[in-house]
Amino acid sequence: MSTPIIKVLREDWADPEIALPRYETHGAAGADLRANLAPENRAGGITLAPMQRAIIPTGLRVEIPKGFEMQIRPRSGLALKHGISLPNTPGTIDADYRGPLGVLLINLGTEAYLIEHGARIAQAIVAPVVQARFEVTDALGDTARGAGGFGSTGKG
């Protein structure tokens, strides 16, 4: 598969010094997204109290090629050390979305956490998608599992 190109537009107000999403290692699945805060929040950052959530701007808009999506996922280190996660993980960025790319963060930790301007707050995974067709039917095909679910195959 050839490398999909994501077109990235910086907002007029965004700080151009903040790096675009990038893969930190050769084999990384996710490209780190950075907070690009509004000018009035840059000095002080944005503090998330325990259980508080907020959309953190990236200062970017993207054009994802048709047939792909972008998933926004938490960074494990932030989750482990500070309880910073995404209530909508994985956030879905649709190929036809042209609005601001925001990262919805939640502080699941017990202490307030400061999001600094330029901080790496989440990671973006680009993944192929297919759109299925949903068809009504009167009967579904037989399987060994049948209607068994929710732990029906037992423990261990």
Contact (CB, 8 A) for 60 and 124:
no
Number of residues that bind ligand DUT (CB under 6 A): 11
Q: Would you give the binding string for ligand DUT spanning residues 47-86, x where CB under 6 A is met?
A: -------------------------x--------------
For ligand DUT, which residue of 24, 49, 92, 112 counts as binding (CB under 6 A)?
92
Contact (CB, 8 A) for 23 and 31:
yes
Transcribe 25-47 into DSSP letters: STT-SSEEEE----GGGTTT-EE
Interface with ligand DUT includes 94 (CB under 6 A)? yes
Q: Would you give the binding string for ligand DUT spanning residues 15-54, x where CB under 6 A is met?
A: ----------------------------------------
Contact (CB, 8 A) for 11 and 60:
yes
In angstroms, give the least distance from the CB of 27 to ligand DUT.
24
Is 93 annotated for ligand binding? Answer: yes
In the block, which residue shows the tokens 């925001």?
102
Q: Which stretch binds ligand DUT (CB under 6 A): 9-17, 36-44, 102-110, 138-146?
A: 102-110
Interface with ligand DUT includes 104 (CB under 6 A)? yes
Give SS3 for 11: coil
CA gap 152, 156 in Å, rounded: 12
Is 76 annotated for ligand binding? Answer: yes
Strands 68-73, 120-128: parallel, antiparallel or unpaired by DSSP?
antiparallel
Residues that bind ligand DUT (CB under 6 A): 72, 88, 91-94, 97, 101-104
